[in-house]
Amino acid sequence: MPSEKPRLIRSIRLPVAAEKRIETDFIAPPPPDAPLDTPALLALAEKEQASAMLVTHHSPLRGADVAAIPACVKLVATVSVGLDHLDVPALLARGIKVSNTPDVLTDCNADLTMMLILAACRRAAEYYTLMKNGWGHTLGMDEMLGLRVSGKTLGIVGMGRIGQALARRARGFEMKVLYHNRRRLDPAQEEGATYFETLEDMLPHCTILSLHMPGTQGAPPLMTARTLGLLPRGSVLVNAARGSLVDETALIDALRSGHLFSAGLDVYQNEPHPNPRLLALPNIFMTPHTGSATVETRTAMSMLALDNVAALAAGKPLPSPVTA
């Protein structure tokens, strides 16, 4: 007699191909109409006696949440590369395996970051607003001028997979690339970029700064009034990593004063309700945390999460385990 299919739950509806795979290969309740919060996720896991939970940042598992996970759950598979919504040490201490989805979202996140750079430098939000309002007058030679991206100096904070992919794209714009990382990479991984041991030493050289560090729960912002002040006047800040990396009050002040020419943001301190003062600024281009939001990438992320569930059920090593 064939063994029972693995039992799982997910906190959010997945792309079509992944949902079809769940119907075929797993035992699972229907996908939720809206993302489940943590209490609803835990209640569903208990009800369904699921051996695995597929989660996203909508359902953080920290502190008391980890202790409340039903004993039936043996794997938390996050459909993300980031782990700041999970207390990984606590999960592992309970004997619950953890997996994530690295690599498959690298290119789309780097693509979106390049879009933010171009849109912030070339005043895309302001141009779009002007056109939606009917345009109405020919622009003069000195009106609504943006910044040329080609040839600028780009500073990358966090030279992991996405940082390296962005550096490759920046080379196509003949940009000079600098980077700051916890450690210097092997030359083969540097993508021709120049390493700075300290952030403070790098910032004065950056016309454009792009953040690619993971977020840490409770850590102070990386970009504060002091560090923003080290950037040259008229520079551009881009953040497609984590909203917690930026002091938004300091960012607003820098954008209003003209110290920053503009910003491109995909992430915010308060999601999905960004600071209204940010929304009111004309010199900012904003997207709603959509770095991986393509059919190809979200499908690949979901499939990798399901691969981990299938491996667990088969007693095989997880394809993308998180071990610390």
From the candidates 10, 161, 212, 289, give the one annotated as an active-site residue: 289
Q: Are 6 and 312 in contact (CB under 8 A)?
A: yes
Helix 16-25 with 295-314: angle, nearest 10 deg: 20
| Angle subtended by helix axes 106-121 and 295-314, to nearest 10 | 150
Of 202, 236, 237, 243, the residue nearest 219 (C-alpha): 243
Beta bridge partners of 262: 236
248 φ/ψ angles, rounded to the nearest 5 degrees: -70, -30
Active site residue 271: yes
Label the pairing between strands 208-211 and 235-239.
Answer: parallel
Residue in 57, 242, 248, 298 annotated catalytic: 242
280: Cα within 13 Å, side-chain hemisphere: 6
Residue pair 69/45 in contact (Cβ under 8 Å)? The answer is yes
Give me the numbers of helices (H) and strands (E) for the chain, helices first please: 12, 12
Residue in 256, 271, 277, 296 annotated catalytic: 271
Under 8 Å CB-to-CB from 14, ≥6 apart: which residues?
22, 31, 54, 79, 298, 302
CB 91 within 8 A of CB 61: yes
C-alpha dihedral sign at 148, 153, 159, 165: positive
Active-site residue flag, 242: yes
CA angle 239, 242, 247 (to 5 degrees): 75
Q: Give the closest residue to 196 by CA, choosing from 213, 180, 212, 184.
A: 180
User: What amino acid positions are annotated as catalytic residues?
Assistant: 242, 271, 289
